[in-house]
A and B are shown apart, each in its own frame.
Chain A
Amino acid sequence: MAGYTPATPGDQADMLAAIGVDSVDDLFAQIPDEVKLDRPLDLEDGKSESEVYRFLAGLADTNLDAERIPSFLGAGMYDHYVPAIVEAIVSRSEFLTPYTPYQPEVSQGGLQVMFEFQTAMSEITGLPVANAGLYEGPSAAASAAYLAMGVTGRTGLVASRGLHPHSRETLATHAVGFGATVTEVGLESGLTSGEELEAAVDDDTAAVFLQNPNFLGAVEDIAALGEAVKAKGALLIVAADPMTLGILRPPGACGADIAFGEGQPLGNRLDFGGPSFGFFCAREEYIRKMPGRIAGETTDADGRRGFVLTLQTREQHIRREKATSNICTAQALNALAGMIHLAWLGKQGFVELGELLARRTAYARKLIGGLDGYELLHEAPVVREFAVRSERAVEELLPLGDESHGPAPRLPVYPLGRDYPEYEDSFLVAITENRSVDEIGWLAHMLEHAQAGWGEHIHDHDHEGNPVAGGVQ
C-alpha cells in the first residue's frame, strides 16, 4: 500500500488519547450500524509504485496513439506539436497543486495567468471580454445558450448542422433542463444553408449557433449568415477553432455576440478527449452574465498592482440558485498550457501556423481528392480539415490490411456516418504541422490500396522506410 499517509501507529495512539477515545471506530459511531459497510471493499489490496506503473504502462501500450501511427483524426481535437516548455511549466507544483485562487494574496501567479489568458482569448476571437476558461468545447455551447436565453427571455435555439455533433447533442441534453427547443439548419455544398437559416429564426429565437470552420472543415461566411440572426434580435454564437484564428476573420469581426470553442489545440494533450479547456468570449454588455471564473486587475493595501477573482456576484457560491452558471472549474492548468503555447507561437508564429495548416491541407486535399475512387464531399474553402467521399463503403476502407489473420489497425481518419447518416460514404481528414508531406503521402497510398482491396502487395514498409499498414509500431 502506498505510503501517502504519514501517521504511525504511535501517532495514532497519541491522537486517540488526545481526543479521548479508544479507537478510530468510536469516531465512526455516528454512522448507523444498518448502513455501515460490514466487509472490506471488494477491491484488490494496494500495490507498490512499480507494480502500478507497470500495469498502467501495459494498458497504455495497447493503445494506438499518435506517436505510433500518423493520425489524421481531428473533429475538434488535433495532434499539434506541444512545445516542451508547456510540460515543464505546467508540471511545476506551484501551478499543479493549488486550489482555485480563493486567497488572492498567495495566488497571484495563477490569477495573473488568467488575466493574460483572458487577454489572449479576447484578442484571437476579436471580442472584448473573456472568462478564465470552461470545461471544454461542447459544454461551453450549453453555457452560451443559458446566457442567451437569460438575456433575450426567449427559448428557441437554432443550430447549424455544421456545429460539432457533440455540441449539438450537448445543447439538446441541456435544453431539457433549460426549457429550450433546438432546431437544426441543414448544410448545402458543405456550408450552412442561408435560406434554411432565415426560415428557422423567428421572434422566439434566443440564439443561433454556427461553427467556423464547420464540422466538415468548410469556412463559413459568418457575417453574411449573421444578418438574418440580427434581424430577428437573436444572439449570434460562433464556435471557433482557435488554431485557425491566425488567418480567419475572428468571430467578433463577423458580428458574433459570443464566441466559444474547444481549447485543446492550444497546448493541450489529446488525452483521449480530456481534460482540456473551453473558452468563452463575449461582447462587453454580457460581462455580468458570463459563466465561470473571471480574473480582474486591482491594487493592494500599499498600492501594488494585483489580481483577484472578480464579478463573483454572478457565481454559485454567492448567488446560489440565481447564479449565472453552476460552473466553478476554469480548467486553470489547461488554460495555462494554452497561454504558454500562444506566447510561444507569438504574434507572428500564430499567423504562420495558420498559413502552414492552410497550405498543407490544400496539398493533401488535392492529392487525396484526386485518387481513384475518392472525391471531395464539398469544394468550399477549408483551413485544416476536409471531407472526402469514397466509392467503397467507409467501414470497409478502415482496416489497414487484410484481416484474415486477426484484426488490423484502423486508418486514423474520422468516418462521418455515425454523426451524419447523409454522409455515410464520407470521412474527415485533419492536418496539423505534425503531419509531414511523407505522412500525407502514406495516407494517400493507404487510401488507394484500401479502395482497391487489401492483397498480397502490402508490405511492412515502403521504399522510403515510411510507415505503412503492417508497419504500425
Chain B
Amino acid sequence: MSTPTLNETPQQADRARTIYEKSVPGRRAAQLPDLGEGVEETPIEELIPAHLLREKPAELPEVSEPEIVRHYNRLSRRNFDLDTGFYPLGSCTMKYNPRLNERVAALPGHAKLHPATDPSDAQGALQLMYLLQESLSEITGLPTVSLQPSAGSQGELAGLLLTRAYHADRGRNPTRVLTPDTAHGTNPASVTMAGYDVVKVATNEKGGVDLEDLKSKIDDDIACLMLTNPNTLGVFDENIVEMASLVHEAGGLLYYDGANLNAIMGQARPGDMGFDIVHVNLHKSFSQPHGGGGPGAGPIAVSERVEPFIPRPQVVRREDGDGVFFDLDYDRPKSIGRLRGFQGNFGVFVRSLAYILSLGGDGLAEASRQAVLNANYLKKRLSEGRAGKYLPIAFDRHCMHEFVLSGAPMKKELGIKTLDLAKRLLDFGFHPPTVYFPLLVDEALMIEPVETESKEDLDAFADAIERILEEAEEDPTIAQNAPYTTPVRRLDEVGATRNPRIRQPQ
C-alpha cells in the first residue's frame, strides 16, 4: 500500500466545468425525423394560441454528441462506485449488482412495455410481478405483498396509512406511533406524514429495545410499533415475541422496517415474529443497483388482517376454464388507494426476481449467513490492535450483518474525529462506513461488509484502519486534512448551505 502524496493529481487539476459552460451557440447533437408525407409545417401559433406559447427557448446546453459523451464519461470518473471498491455503508447493503439483471431488464419486452398495455398483452410482465410477490411473501412469512411503493420510505408511509385504515375500519383512531431511538430517520419522518405523533423508545444495555420503557409507553392510543430487527446496531432483539404480544394486546400493529433483511433471509421471518407490515428494500437485499441515489423499490408484505387495505391495483392470478390469467385488480373497496402512478418500479422488479431466481431459496439463506459471518469477522479484526483501542464496539456481542463502532476514544486520545477517519479512508481507496449514525453512539461508525466481499477485501479494510490510526498517533493532522487524492478535497458544506447556489447562474 503506497502512501498518497500531497501533490495535485491530474484529476484535481482538471477543474469542474458544467455542460452549460461547454455550450457553444449553434452546436447540436439531435437530428430529428422529418415531419412525414402529408404533415403540414403549420406555424405553431395556428395550432395553439400565441399567449399559451413559450416566448423564448429554454436555456439548454448547445453541445455535440461527442462532447456530451466525453463530458459525462469524465464526470463518471469523479465517482467512487461499488464495482470499483469496497463500500461498507451500514444499513445500505451495498452488495454486488449482477450484470445479468441489467441484461434481462433491458429486453424490449420489459423495457419498452407501456404501463397502460392491456393485461392480456402484458401477461409476462404481470406473471413476473406475481412471482416476485410470491417470493417476497415466502421470504417475509406474510401472505400478501404489494409491490407498488417506490422506495423504503414510501413503503413506510404506505404501512402507516395501512395502519390508519386498519384502525379506522375498527372504529378506532389511535394517534401515536412508537419508534426506537435507533430508528432510521425516515421512520419518524414517515410517521409525521401519516398524521401520527412519534413516541421514542429507549435502547437497553444490550442494544435492544428497553422493555420497561416500552411497557410504560404502550396504551390504547398506540397505533403501531415500528421496528428494524436486526436494528441499526446490528443487534437482533431477543424480546421480539414479547414486544409483539404487548403491542397486539393493546390493539396496535407491528411494523417491520426491512432495511436490514439481508441479515435474516432464510433464517427467520418477520411474519413469524408477529409483524403485520414489512417493507422490503429491493435495492438493498435484492441487488437493484443504487444508481447514485435511486432508483429502488419498497414493496410491502402484510398479514391477513391488513390485506383488505393494501394499495391498488394489485397483481392477481385468476384461473378458470380457459386457463390462467394474470390481472390488475382495481376492485378493492377498502384499499388506501394509490401511492404513485401505474404499477410500481417494474424495471426494479425484473432485476430482483432475476436475483432471487439466481440464488434460489438455498442461495438467499447462504447469502445471509455469509453476510453475518463477514460482519463478525470484520468486527473481530477491528477489535484487535489500534482499532480495538481507539474504536471500541458500541455493543459488544455477536452482531448480525452490521456493527457499530464508537470513535469517541479516537477523538479524545488522537484528536481525530470519525469524519477525519472517514475522509482518510478515501485516500486508501475505500468508501467509508456510515458515520454519525445511529445517533445514540458517540462518533459512530456503522459498518456493513455484505456477503459479496472477499476475506482479502475485509482484511485490507481492517489494515487500512490500522494504518490510519498508526499514522494519527504520529501526526493527527494527516487525517484532519484528508482527503488528498480525491477529485476534490474536503468541501465547504456549511458555506454551501449558507449561500445556496443550486443551479447555473442565468
A441 closest partner in B (C-beta): B38
Which residues from 46 to 105 on chain B have a C-beta closer than 8 Å to any C-beta of chain A?
A: 47-49, 51-55, 57-63, 65, 68-69, 71-73, 75-84, 87, 89, 92, 94-98, 100, 102-105
Which residues from 110 to 136 on chain A have a C-beta closer than 8 Å to any C-beta of chain B?
A: 110, 112-113, 115-116, 118-120, 122-124, 126, 128-130, 132-133, 135-136
Please state if A135 and B118 are interface contacts (CB–CB under 8 Å). no
Please state if B193 and A325 are interface contacts (CB–CB under 8 Å). yes
Q: Which residues on B sit within 8 Å (CB–CB) of A120?
A: 58, 60
A88 closest partner in B (C-beta): B69
Question: Measured between alpha carbons, how far is A316 from B57 in the docked complex, in Å?
Answer: 37
The answer to the question of B385 belonging to the interface, with a C-beta cut-off of 8 Å to chain A, is: no
What sequence of 0s and 1s flags, for each residue 94-124 of chain A, a beta carbon within 8 Å of any chain B beta carbon? 1111111111111111101101101110111
Please state if B61 and A75 are interface contacts (CB–CB under 8 Å). no
What sequence of 0s and 1s flags, for each residue 48-83 of chain A, a beta carbon within 8 Å of any chain B beta carbon? 010011011111111111111001010111010001
B313 to chain A, nearest CB (A): 10
Please state if B60 and A7 are interface contacts (CB–CB under 8 Å). no
Asked whether A63 and B80 contact (CB < 8 A) given A91-B102, A119-B18, A245-B54, the answer is no
B330 to chain A, nearest CB (A): 7
Question: Measured between alpha carbons, how far is A140 from B247 in the docked complex, in Å?
Answer: 34
Please state if B185 and A317 are interface contacts (CB–CB under 8 Å). yes
What sequence of 0s and 1s flags, for each residue 11-52 of chain A, a beta carbon within 8 Å of any chain B beta carbon? 110111011110010111111101111001111111101001
Q: Which residues on A sit within 8 Å (CB–CB) of B49?
A: 381
Number of residues from B at the complex interface, CB < 8 A: 208
Question: Measured between alpha carbons, how far is A410 from B117 in the docked complex, in Å?
Answer: 8
What sequence of 0s and 1s flags, for each residue 349-374 of chain A, a beta carbon within 8 Å of any chain B beta carbon? 11111011011101100000000000
Please state if B294 and A334 are interface contacts (CB–CB under 8 Å). yes
Please state if B342 and A177 are interface contacts (CB–CB under 8 Å). no
Please state if B164 and A176 are interface contacts (CB–CB under 8 Å). yes
Pick from A66, A316, A333, A410: contact of B189, CB under 8 Å: A316
Q: Which residues on A sit within 8 Å (CB–CB) of B202?
A: none
Specify which of A16, A56, A77, A297 lies most central, judged by the most chain B CB atoms within 10 Å of its CB: A56
Q: Which residues on A sit within 8 Å (CB–CB) of B363?
A: 1-2, 45-46
Question: Measured between alpha carbons, how far is A312 from B60 in the docked complex, in Å?
Answer: 28
The answer to the question of A463 belonging to the interface, with a C-beta cut-off of 8 Å to chain B, is: no
Please state if A122 and B503 are interface contacts (CB–CB under 8 Å). yes
Please state if A73 and B79 are interface contacts (CB–CB under 8 Å). no
Q: Which residues on B sit within 8 Å (CB–CB) of A164?
A: 341
Please state if B112 and A437 are interface contacts (CB–CB under 8 Å). no
Please state if B76 and A345 are interface contacts (CB–CB under 8 Å). no
Specify which of B122, B293, B366 lies most central, judged by the most chain A CB atoms within 10 Å of its CB: B293
How many A-B Cβ pairs are below 8 Å?
736
Q: Which residues on B sit within 8 Å (CB–CB) of A124?
A: 58, 60
Please state if A106 and B486 are interface contacts (CB–CB under 8 Å). yes
Please state if A123 and B373 are interface contacts (CB–CB under 8 Å). no
Question: Measured between alpha carbons, how far is A112 from B17 in the docked complex, in Å?
Answer: 9
Pick from A2, A99, A223, A326: contact of B157, CB under 8 Å: A326
Asked whether A63 and B117 contact (CB < 8 A) given A35-B272, A334-B294, the answer is yes
Among B29-37, B405-413, B466-474, the one that faces the other chain is B29-37
Pick from A27, A272, A333: contact of B115, CB under 8 Å: A272
The answer to the question of B492 belonging to the interface, with a C-beta cut-off of 8 Å to chain A, is: yes
B29 to chain A, nearest CB (A): 5
Pick from B28, B73, B80: contact of A106, CB under 8 Å: B80
The answer to the question of B443 belonging to the interface, with a C-beta cut-off of 8 Å to chain A, is: no
Please state if A97 and B27 are interface contacts (CB–CB under 8 Å). no
The answer to the question of A208 belonging to the interface, with a C-beta cut-off of 8 Å to chain B, is: no
What sequence of 0s and 1s flags, for each residue 421-448 of chain A, a beta carbon within 8 Å of any chain B beta carbon? 0000000000001001110000000000
Which residues from 101 to 144 on chain B have a C-beta closer than 8 Å to any C-beta of chain A?
A: 102-118, 120-125, 127-128, 135, 138-139, 141
Please state if B487 and A94 are interface contacts (CB–CB under 8 Å). no
Q: Which residues on B sit within 8 Å (CB–CB) of A349?
A: 28-30, 32
A265 to chain B, nearest CB (A): 12
Please state if A360 and B497 are interface contacts (CB–CB under 8 Å). no
Question: Measured between alpha carbons, how far is A76 from B186 in the docked complex, in Å?
Answer: 29
Question: Measured between alpha carbons, how far is A19 from B383 in the docked complex, in Å?
Answer: 10
Among A167-175, A197-205, A228-236, A452-460, the one that faces the other chain is A167-175
Which residues from 450 to 506 on chain B have a C-beta closer than 8 Å to any C-beta of chain A?
A: 451-455, 481, 483, 486-493, 495-497, 500-504
The answer to the question of A92 belonging to the interface, with a C-beta cut-off of 8 Å to chain B, is: yes
Which residues from 196 to 222 on chain B have a C-beta closer than 8 Å to any C-beta of chain A?
A: 198
Asked whether A113 and B268 contact (CB < 8 A) given A41-B139, A269-B111, A360-B36, the answer is no
B138 to chain A, nearest CB (A): 5
The answer to the question of A221 belonging to the interface, with a C-beta cut-off of 8 Å to chain B, is: yes
Please state if B422 and A103 are interface contacts (CB–CB under 8 Å). yes
Which residues from 283 to 338 on chain B have a C-beta closer than 8 Å to any C-beta of chain A?
A: 289-297, 311, 330, 336-338
Specify which of B297, B342, B348, B362 lies most central, judged by the most chain A CB atoms within 10 Å of its CB: B342
Question: Measured between alpha carbons, how far is A110 from B37 in the docked complex, in Å?
Answer: 43
Please state if B346 and A410 are interface contacts (CB–CB under 8 Å). no
B261 to chain A, nearest CB (A): 13
The answer to the question of A156 belonging to the interface, with a C-beta cut-off of 8 Å to chain B, is: no
Asked whether A326 and B502 contact (CB < 8 A) given A105-B486, A249-B52, A275-B345, the answer is no
Asked whether A6 and B453 contact (CB < 8 A) given A52-B357, A102-B89, A345-B30, the answer is yes
What sequence of 0s and 1s flags, for each residue 267-281 of chain A, a beta carbon within 8 Å of any chain B beta carbon? 001111111010000
Asked whether A219 and B52 contact (CB < 8 A) given A24-B373, A115-B18, the answer is yes
Please state if A118 and B60 are interface contacts (CB–CB under 8 Å). no
Please state if A46 and B362 are interface contacts (CB–CB under 8 Å). yes
Please state if A30 and B397 are interface contacts (CB–CB under 8 Å). yes
The answer to the question of B364 belonging to the interface, with a C-beta cut-off of 8 Å to chain A, is: yes
Q: Which residues on A sit within 8 Å (CB–CB) of B497?
A: 296, 310-313
Which residues from 1 to 57 on chain B have a C-beta closer than 8 Å to any C-beta of chain A?
A: 8, 12, 15-16, 18-20, 23, 27-30, 32-33, 35-42, 44, 47-49, 51-55, 57
The answer to the question of A194 belonging to the interface, with a C-beta cut-off of 8 Å to chain B, is: no
Please state if B107 and A100 are interface contacts (CB–CB under 8 Å). no
Question: Measured between alpha carbons, how far is A381 from B347 in the docked complex, in Å?
Answer: 34
Question: Measured between alpha carbons, how far is A331 from B340 in the docked complex, in Å?
Answer: 14
Question: Measured between alpha carbons, how far is A300 from B172 in the docked complex, in Å?
Answer: 54
Please state if B487 and A343 are interface contacts (CB–CB under 8 Å). no
What 4 A-B pairs have minimum CB-CB distances, sorted nearest first? A60-B109, A273-B342, A333-B291, A273-B115
8 contacts between A and B (CB under 8 A): A56-B107, A106-B78, A135-B154, A302-B8, A310-B496, A326-B154, A359-B41, A433-B33
In the complex, besides A170-B338, A315-B185, A360-B36, 13 extra interface pairs with C-beta distance below 8 angstroms are A35-B241, A52-B104, A63-B123, A96-B102, A109-B77, A135-B340, A271-B111, A287-B500, A317-B184, A326-B154, A330-B293, A346-B28, A409-B121
